[in-house]
Every structure is written in structure tokens, then in C-alpha cells.
Amino acid sequence: MEHAMATHEDHFRAGKLLGLDHRKLGMWLFIASEVMFFGGLIAAFLTFKLGTPSTDSALLNVAQVGVNTFVLLTSSFTVVLALSAIRAGDQRGLRAFLGLTILLGAAFLSGQAFEFASLYREGLTLTSGVFGSSFFTLTGFHGLHVFIGVVWALRNLIKAMRGGYRAETSIGIELFGLYWHFVDIVWIVLFTIIYLI
Amino acid sequence: MSADAYAVKATAGWRRYLRWNTDHKVIGVQYLVTTFVFFFIGGLLAMLVRSELARPGTDILAGQQFNRVVTNHGSLMIFLWIIPVFAGFANFMLPLMIGARDMAFPRLNAASYWTFLAGGVVMVASFFVGAAETGWTAYVPLSIRAPDGQTVWAVSVIIIGASSTMGGINFITTTLTMRAEGMSFWRLPLFVWSMLATSLLVVIATPVLTASLILVALDRLVGTAFFDVAAGGSPILFQNLFWFYSHPAVYIMILPGMGIISEIFPVFSRKPIFGYKMIALSSMAIAVLGMTVWGHHMFSSGMDPRYRVPYMVTSMIIAVPTGVKIFSWLATIWDGKLRFTTAMLFALGFISMFLIGGITGIFLASIPFDIHVHDTYFVVAHLHFVLFGGSVSAAYAGLYYWFPKITGRMLDENFGKGHFILNFIGANLTYLPMFLAGALGMPRRVADYAPEFARLNQLATLGAAILGVSSVPMLYNIVVSWVKGPVAEANPWQARTLEWQTSSPPQDQNFDVPPVITHDPYDYGVAGPAADRPQSASAAAD
């Protein structure tokens, strides 16, 4: 009886009767709201792409961005490896794969900056017309999300350097992973609708 | 524990309301007090509007001033009063009602309040840099060309939207993961169900408003071409994005009110709620259907006519789950042992006025009728019957019902009833003439009108004055009762739901012992062992 009371008390404190971790659920809900945010921007982009087709899209360099896409997708893989490393208690693996994720994320951002710079030189800008406006807004907000992800990963890396994660307390890595995968999936959608079709 | 032990703490700790605090009860009070302040600012703006419209001609406010006052009246009432006041009630009550000790994310909760306050301050500050003047809908291209205050306004709405989304994520997560033992979904109080539906809408719809206002801000600040027709921009795009949020926002504003009403009727009728599951599911149905109707705002905007009929049909279908609720409430009070407390009176006022607002909503969903009265006072009357007659009545009902739990003091019932009578007369006198004026063709959002509308507008202005006066007994009652009203018992209304099974105001951590839920929330007056027993076994044993 004593034991039963204690467990019950624990439930009250931790609030985990469903066996559903509230941090993960919160993250999924945040991602749902982010999906809708990008949905709004994508709707704007498609309105112009379908309604007033522009020759400006010929300026896009699909091959170069394709390489960048590969870089970003690889970073999703390294996040999975980081999580599986810490779940196995492998601190070195965690730090290595987090570091690799940061490098890949930074490489993607550099690639995007390079792409933006060359488009600007060719006259495609935020204010050059509806294609430029919707292209830079949509890809720019995605880039901002990658940037936030890189900062988040850096913070996690610093915490990992101090031994802040253990196999049973790896939720922080998992939450970051959810966000990072989401950012990657958004890019797959954007790459398809902006560059491929 | 006795109420006295808490009376000391409640009065001693008022400073905690001015600081960062992660307790859901403190945050609830912060929200409620802040939203009432914004409500009064919005109310004063409404008084200005009605004063200008008291007679034909422009006497007090010229065109631009009038537009600014109307815009900020709407924006304050929607973004800084109705939507967040229910977040205030939910912050205080939802964890108590499900037997939790706090919200799932207490720090996010505090962040959501302070973000809301910041957004509200920015919106009010926009008055001083030339306030927004496009109406709360901020239609482009008007909102691209308006002076700088429009940018400040857009930024404030983006900030408030972020606060709202944080709250929504928190309410859903709390409801799903923090329920006490035995609190299954079919034992959730209906206010919790309604907040779940509301929060889903908030999380899904708000980011789209954010996106649309970011595009407006970019057009204004950077010079992008999203809504610049000359450069191929699309004003219809803005209307689609805006109403994708702003129509569901109507349900964000009414569903929590319906939840409060569903709490009040069984308590003051001493009967089980009629159709518990149907009311819970109709909240969800309204949330889902509510995402599919936004185009009915755009019948006269030049949208493809083929889309009109589907939007008309989905809009009218919303009346079905809404009707389910209204009939369930009527069946709940039918043959009950009614107690006409102030909370109950406001709940009854809610039904009668919301019904008028809801039915005229079906008129407006009908394409030919909508095109006839689009942008007339008919629409103004409809939305005020829904949002004032409905949502504000529900907020008042919640105030009179939960005030003892929140403050540990009883409100004065005589002042409360005086408030109700003035409010009910004032609301109907203000808004009923607007239906007539609108049907006769009086356009909305204009500072002047043709002389033939003078009589109807005088009536509306008289009603508004009564509404203004009605806030005096309410304010007096709140302030005096909070300071020195009679001390409230834990459960002054003999209610069964969990928030009443702990002290008033509730102690830290809410409950002495984590409650175990053994009963449905509304089994009032039924025969047998369950009669008038609280929802939780452990609380009953105290």
C-alpha cells in the first residue's frame, strides 16, 4: 500500500499517466504549427508559380542546389547516428555526430548564401517581382530555420562536451532531432516545388 | 485545510502577479486582469465610435480618426480581450479540472503571458505613431499603403499570435499528459473538451495569420511584390491566408465560451448535462468544419464563383453541431431545479443572444443574401451578437462562476444581477437596430451615414451608453469583493468538478493528495449512491 501511494504520487509529479512524454508531444505540436506556417508561404509561392508563371525560374541552378540538398539530407542521417550513439552510452560518438551535423548544416547555409548572391548578381532579388519575392521569402525562412537548428545543435554540443547527456537522459538530442528532420523534410518539399517541377 | 490558511497567503502575495511566475494560477490571474484592462480600452473606443454615429455627419471623429478607432476597437477586442480572456480562465481552471498540479510546460506558460503582454503593449503603443486604420482585417492593398502605425500593428499581431500558439501547445499537451488517475477522456469536463478543440485550431490556424502578416510587413518594409497588383501581386491571396486563420478564430473565440456555459447549466439546474458526448464531439466537429469555411468571407471578392457553393454548404453545416449544443443545453435546464445566480443568468443570456448571432450567420452563409448585405451593418450586428452576446456573456458567466475559486471571495449577487440586466438590455438595444440598418443598406466602417438611418443609430448609441454604464456595477463589484467580500467556501455552488474539490483559492500544487477520479463530472441529482458526489474519491474523503 505504501508503495502504491508512492507510485501514485510520482505520477502526479511527473504527469506521465499516458506513457506519453509531454516534451515530445509539445515538439510535435510545435512542428504542426510550423507546417502550417510554411504551408502559408508555400501557398503564396504556388499562387504565383501557377497563376503568373515567370521566366525568372530559369535562373535557378538545379544541380548546385541538388548538391546542397544532399548535404542537408546527410545531416539528418548524422543526427540519427548521434541519438543512437548516446542511447548506447557512446559520448564520443555523440559529440562527433553532433559536430558533423553542425558542419553539414553550416555547409548548407553557405551553399544557400552562395546561391542567393549569384541570383542577386543576375538580377533576381526580393523586389524584382512576385517570383523573386516569393522565392527568397520561402527559401529564406527555411534557411532561418536551418540557422536556428545549427545554433540549437551547437548548444547541445556544448552540453555534450560537459557530459550533459546520458543514455537515459537523451531527450534533448531526440527533440533536436525531431526539429532537424522536420526542417529537412520541408526542404525536400521546397526543392521539389521550386526547383524540380 | 481551512480557507483561513489561504486568505493570508492570497493577500500577502500580490506582488507575485507583477513578476515572472510559473504557477498556472498566478498566470491565469495575470491573463484575466490584463485582458479586462484591454477590454475597457476597447470598450472606450467603442463608445467613441457610437458617439460619432449618434447622429449623421462627422462631429467627433473625421474619416481617418474614425477608421483608426474602429480598427483598434476590433483588434483589441479580438486579439487582446476575447481570445486571451479564455486563455486566462483555462490557465487557472484547466489543470485543476483534470486533477493536475500545473500545466505541462510552466515556463512556456509564463513566456506565453509575457509575450502576450508585450504584444498588447505594442498594439496600444501603435496609437501614438499613427494607429492602423484598415479595419482589423488589414486588407491589402490598403494595409500596404497606410501610414507606419500599420507596421507596428502587424508586428503586434504576430507577437500575440506567437503567445497564442505557445498557449495552445501547452493546453493540448497538458490535457493529454497531465490528467489525474481515472480522468479518462469521457470524464473530462466540457470546458476542457472545448479548450482542446480551441487549442487545436490555435496551433493549426494561427501560423497562417503570422505568415500573411509577415508578407504584409515585407511588402511595407522591404518592397516585395506579394500584394502589389501592378507587379503581379495577388490581393486575393491575402484574403485567403487571412481568413484561413480568422474564420477559425471565430470558433477560437466561441468554443471556450460554450465550454463555460456547459459547466454552468448542470450546476445551477442540478441535473446531469444532456448529451455529454455529443457536446464534446460537436466541439471537435466545429473545430474541423471550421477550417473549411473561410471562403464565405470572400463571396464578393472576385473569387472563382465555382468555389462559392461548397463554402456555403460547409458554412451552413456548422449550424448542425452548434444546434446540437443549444438543444443539449435547453434539455439540461428543462425540468431542472434552477438557481438564478448571476452566472446562470449570463449563461441564459448567452443562449438567447448567441442564437440570434448564430442564425443570422446561416443567413450570411447564403450567397445571394450575403452579397446583398456584404459590408453593411447587418454583418456588424451578426458578429456582435456572436462575440458580445455569445463570447462576452460567457466570459462574464465564467467570471461570476469562478470568481470565488480564483480570489477566495464571493461577488455580490445584487450588483451582479444589476450588471446582467443592464448588459442584456444594452446589448440588444445596441445590436438589434443594426440588423435593420444593415438590411436597409447602411455600409459599415464609415464615419457618416444617410439621414434616414438616424433613428436606428440613436437607438444603438443609447444601447451602447447603457452597456458602458453596465460596466460600473461590475467593476465596483470586482474591486470591492476582491478586497473585502465574504470569504468563499471551497465549493459555494455545490459543484462536482475537481476545481471545486480544493480550497478557494487553491493551495500550491492544487491538491493535498493527487485526486483519483471515480465519477462523471455532471451527475447531479441522480438517484442512488452517485447522487451529488464529487468527481474524485480522494477529495470526497477529505
Distance CA A84, CA A72 (A): 19
Q: Choose among B100, B233, B244: nearest Cβ to A15.
A: B100
Q: B157, B163 in Cβ contact below 8 A? A: no
| pLDDT recorded at residue B537 | 67
| Contact list, A10 vs chain B (CB under 8 Å) | none
| pLDDT recorded at residue A83 | 97
Domain membership flag for residue B278: yes
Domain membership flag for residue B496: yes
Distance CA B527, CA B483 (A): 41
Long-range CB contact pairs, B522-528, < 8 A, 24+: B522/B266, B522/B272, B522/B273, B522/B276, B522/B496, B522/B497, B523/B272, B523/B496, B524/B266, B524/B267, B524/B269, B524/B270, B524/B271, B524/B272, B524/B496, B525/B270, B525/B271, B525/B272, B525/B336, B525/B337, B526/B272
Tell me what the pLDDT averaged over chain A comes to.
Answer: 91
More confident residue, B374 or B11: B374
Query: Residues A163-173: pLDDT tens digits?
Result: 999 998 999 99
| Contact list, A34 vs chain B (CB under 8 Å) | 207
Q: Is A44 on the interface with B (CB under 8 A)?
A: yes
| pLDDT recorded at residue B304 | 85
The confidence band for B535, taking pLDDT boundaries of 50, 70 and 90, is confident
Whether A51 sits inside 8 A of B240 (CB atoms) is no
Residue B130, pLDDT above cutoff 90: no
Between the alpha carbon of residue B222 and those of residues A128, A136, B205, the distances in Å are 11, 12, 26
Residue B312, pLDDT above cutoff 50: yes
Residue A9, pLDDT above cutoff 90: no
Mean predicted confidence (pLDDT) in B409-421: 97
Distance CA A133, CA B5 (A): 62
Question: What backbone phi and psi angles, to 5 degrees, belong to B49?
Answer: -60, -50
| pLDDT recorded at residue B466 | 98
Q: Which of A10, A13, A24, A33 to substitute to test the interface with B, most B CBs within 10 Å?
A: A33
The confidence band for A4, taking pLDDT boundaries of 50, 70 and 90, is very low
Residue B542, pLDDT above cutoff 90: no
Residue B436: CB atoms within 10 Å: 17
Residue B259: CB atoms within 10 Å: 30
The confidence band for B534, taking pLDDT boundaries of 50, 70 and 90, is confident
More confident residue, A1 or B372: B372
Residue B3, pLDDT above cutoff 70: no
B170 is written with which cell numbers? 501547452
| Contact list, B100 vs chain A (CB under 8 Å) | 12, 15
Question: Hey, is A160 helix, strand or coil?
Answer: helix
Query: Residues B181-235: pLDDT tens digits?
Result: 899 999 999 999 999 999 999 999 999 999 999 999 999 999 999 999 999 999 9
Domain membership flag for residue B313: yes
A82 is written with which cell numbers? 548521434
Total domains in chain B come to 1
Residue A59, pLDDT above cutoff 70: yes
What's the pTM value of the predicted model, to 2 decimals? 0.94
Domain membership flag for residue B109: yes
Distance CA B495, CA B491 (A): 7
Mean predicted confidence (pLDDT) in B333-343: 96
* CA A57 from centroid of its chain's CA atoms: 25
| Contact list, A126 vs chain B (CB under 8 Å) | 218, 222-224
Per-residue burial over A159-186, b = 16 or more CB atoms within 10 Å of its CB, e = otherwise: ebeeeebeeeebebbbbbbbbbebbbeb
CB-side neighbour CA atoms (13 Å) of B264: 30
CA distance A92 to chain B (A): 31
The confidence band for B43, taking pLDDT boundaries of 50, 70 and 90, is very high
| pLDDT recorded at residue B527 | 66
Q: What is the 3-state secondary structure (H, E, C) of B82-111?
A: HHHHHHHHHHHHHHHHCCCCCCCCHHHHHH
Q: Is A103 on the interface with B (CB under 8 A)?
A: no
Mean predicted confidence (pLDDT) in B284-300: 95
| pLDDT recorded at residue B536 | 79
Query: Residues A139-187: pLDDT tens digits?
Result: 999 999 999 999 999 999 999 999 999 998 999 999 999 999 999 999 9
The confidence band for B514, taking pLDDT boundaries of 50, 70 and 90, is confident
Secondary structure (DSSP) of A105-156: HHHHHHHHHHHHHHHHHTT--TTS-HHHHHHHHHHHHHHHHHHHHHHHHHHH
Whether A26 sits inside 8 A of B101 (CB atoms) is no
Q: Choose among A16, A36, A44: nearest Cβ to B237.
A: A44
| pLDDT recorded at residue B354 | 97
Largest CA distance in chain B: 74
What angle separates helix B235-269 from helix B342-365, to the nearest 10 degrees?
Answer: 150
Distance CA B86, CA B34 (A): 12
Mean predicted confidence (pLDDT) in B386-414: 97
Q: Which of B224, B236, B243 to substitute to test the interface with A, most A CBs within 10 Å?
A: B224
Domain membership flag for residue B9: no
Distance CA B149, CA B349 (A): 38
| pLDDT recorded at residue B63 | 87
CATH classification at residue B66: 1.20.210.10
Integer-rounded Cα Rg, in Å, for chain A is 21
CA distance A148 to chain B (A): 17
| pLDDT recorded at residue B224 | 96
Q: What angle do CA A193, A195, A197 make, to 5 degrees?
A: 55
Tell me what ipTM this predicted complex has: 0.93
Q: A16, B177 in Cβ contact below 8 A? A: yes
Distance CA A34, CA B353 (A): 37
| pLDDT recorded at residue B123 | 96
| Contact list, B233 vs chain A (CB under 8 Å) | 130
Tell me what the pLDDT averaged over chain B comes to.
Answer: 93
Whether B165 sits inside 8 A of A33 (CB atoms) is yes
Q: Is A144 on the interface with B (CB under 8 A)?
A: no
Type of residue at A106: A
| Lowest-confidence region among A30-44, B90-104, B513-527 | B513-527
Query: Residues A89-133: pLDDT tens digits?
Result: 999 999 999 999 999 999 999 999 999 999 999 999 999 999 999
Q: Choose among B168, B169, B234: nearest Cβ to A51.
A: B234
Whether B176 sits inside 8 A of A37 (CB atoms) is no
Hey, CA dihedral for B378, B384, B387, B389, is it positive or negative?
A: negative
Nearest CA in chain B to A21: B177
What angle separates helix A130-161 from helix A171-190, to the nearest 10 degrees?
Answer: 160
Q: Which residues, at least 6 apart from B410, have a Cβ–Cβ distance to it below 8 Å?
A: B403, B404, B481, B485, B486, B487, B488, B492
Domain membership flag for residue B6: no
| Contact list, B206 vs chain A (CB under 8 Å) | 33, 36
Whether B181 sits inside 8 A of A11 (CB atoms) is yes
Q: Choose among A26, A33, A137: nearest Cβ to B206.
A: A33
Per cent of chain B over pLDDT 70 is 96
Domains of chain A: 22-196 (1.20.120.80)
In the block, cell 468555389 appears at B307
| pLDDT recorded at residue A197 | 87
CB-side neighbour CA atoms (13 Å) of B305: 3
Query: Residues B416-468: pLDDT tens digits?
Result: 999 999 999 999 999 999 999 999 999 999 999 999 999 999 999 999 999 99
The confidence band for B128, taking pLDDT boundaries of 50, 70 and 90, is confident
| pLDDT recorded at residue B529 | 56
Is-cis flag, bond preceding B505, omega within 30?
yes
| pLDDT recorded at residue B524 | 87
| pLDDT recorded at residue B177 | 92
Query: Residues B260-283: pLDDT tens digits?
Result: 999 999 999 999 999 999 999 999
Distance CA B317, CA B144 (A): 35
The domain of B261 spans: 22-541
Residue B1: CB atoms within 10 Å: 11
Domain membership flag for residue B211: yes
| Contact list, A42 vs chain B (CB under 8 Å) | none
Query: Residues B54-89: pLDDT tens digits?
Result: 999 998 998 899 999 999 999 999 999 999 999 999
| pLDDT recorded at residue A57 | 87
Domain membership flag for residue B17: no
